[in-house]
Amino acid sequence: MSQTQHGVTVWFTGLSGAGKTTIRMAIEQALRGQGLKVEVLDGDIVRQNLTKGLGFSKADRDENIRRIGFVANLLTRNGVIVLVSAISPYRSVREEVRQKIDNFVEVYVNAPLDICEQRDVKGLYKKARAGEIKQFTGIDDPYEPPLNPEVECRTDLETLEESTAKVISTLQTLGYLPNPSIANPI
């Protein structure tokens, strides 16, 4: 690689089933295909190790996000593109993490609750409606949408390709991808 890679944290926030993991995987594949250093911090996986034992109270959710942010910052300042997908429902802790990380791009993965619920990718909405899961975001726990995300993907209205292209082009515009000639990496 002739140019030094810029580190950046790309933070995907949104309801369960909104499309965070799906878009993140497409971006990951595109960037790895360009030979870039990419790491992934996926909320579901992080909760099995780095933040194991934390629950879903506001305090625990915030702690979960702070720890993810801590690791994302270490990687970002070492030139890695860090893809974080986590519901991260609270605005204030997302802002706190943004302040700590020099290069931070927030992607609001937005689909209406009823669409996420229809998709019910993991069957969790059904359980939440049945009362088998408590404190489920969107059902009996809040989600505070970003006010000024760098990118918003309306996954009920856009194709995956459109959503992915939006993220990539924003990273290019902001100068986080080393080669601006990568116009259509997908």
Closest chain position to ligand ADP (CB): 19
CA dihedral 21, 165, 178, 30 (to 10 degrees): 50
Write down the least CB distance from residue 131 to ligand ADP, Å. 21
Q: Please count the CA atoms within 13 angstroms of the CA of 38 that sit on its side-chain side.
A: 20
- Binding stretches for ligand ADP (CB under 6 A): 14, 16-23, 85, 109, 119, 121, 155, 158-160, 163
Closer to ligand ADP by CB, 25 or 54: give it: 25
Identity of residue 107: V
Write down the least CB distance from residue 74 to ligand ADP, Å. 24
- Region of residue 120 (left: phi > 0; alpha: psi -120 to 50; beta: else): left
Tokens of 124: 């969790």
Write down the least CB distance from residue 146 to ligand ADP, Å. 14
Three-state DSSP class for 75? helix
Is 57 among the residues known to form the active site? no
Closer to ligand ADP by CB, 51 or 163: give it: 163
Catalytically annotated residue among 2, 16, 85, 88: 88
Catalytic residues: 88
